[in-house]
């Protein structure tokens, strides 16, 4: 994927990687991706997730699951972009409706729980 990234996107992925792994600030693990529209935030985030699902700073995967929380209007777009860039390398479980019990049931099925899950809980609005 890195061959597809533009220089500013590579810089963004490195920044996020350093933030979420504690390289930038050892006591803090996270960041906010707030670039302007059209700069490739989705691809940068997918690249970061793929990297952390496969290899972290200690040469082992840092994550085994990822949850994407976004407005329900973007869930299908995230699913489409994940399939476009990662193909069958991960199993996505897009969730854009249903009550808490239904969502918990879908996420609790460990044999089909995806590496990357797009979800929106109504209380996050």
Secondary structure of 68-122 in HEC code, one letter for each residue? EECCHHHHHHHHHHHHHHHHHHCCECCECCCCHHHHHHHHHCCCCCCCEEEECCH
Q: What is the pLDDT along the chain (125 residues), one digit of tens a residue?
A: 778 999 999 999 999 999 998 888 889 888 888 889 999 999 999 999 999 988 877 788 888 888 888 888 888 899 899 999 998 888 787 877 767 777 677 666 533 344 455 544 443 44
CA atoms within 13 A on the CB side of 84: 11
pLDDT at 64 (0 to 100): 81
Residues whose CB is less than 8 angstroms from the CB of residue 68 and which lie 6 or more positions away in sequence, other chains included = 45, 78, 116, 117, 118, 119
Q: What is the pLDDT of residue 113?
A: 41
* pTM (2 d.p.): 0.76
**Residue spans per domain, the chain:** 1-63, 65-125
């Amino acid at each position: 994927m890195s061959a597809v990234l533009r220089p500013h996107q590579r810089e963004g992925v490195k920044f996020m990687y350093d933030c979420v792994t504690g390289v930038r600030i050892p006591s803090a693990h996270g960041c906010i991706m707030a670039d302007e529209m059209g700069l490739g935030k989705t691809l940068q985030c997918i690249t970061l997730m793929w990297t952390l699902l496969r290899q972290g700073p200690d040469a082992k995967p840092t994550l085994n699951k990822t949850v994407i929380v976004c407005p329900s209007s973007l869930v299908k777009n995230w699913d489409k972009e994940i399939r476009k860039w990662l193909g069958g390398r991960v199993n996505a479980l897009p969730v854009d409706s249903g009550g808490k019990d239904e969502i918990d049931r879908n996420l609790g099925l460990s044999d089909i729980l995806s590496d990357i899950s797009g979800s929106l809980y109504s209380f996050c609005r």
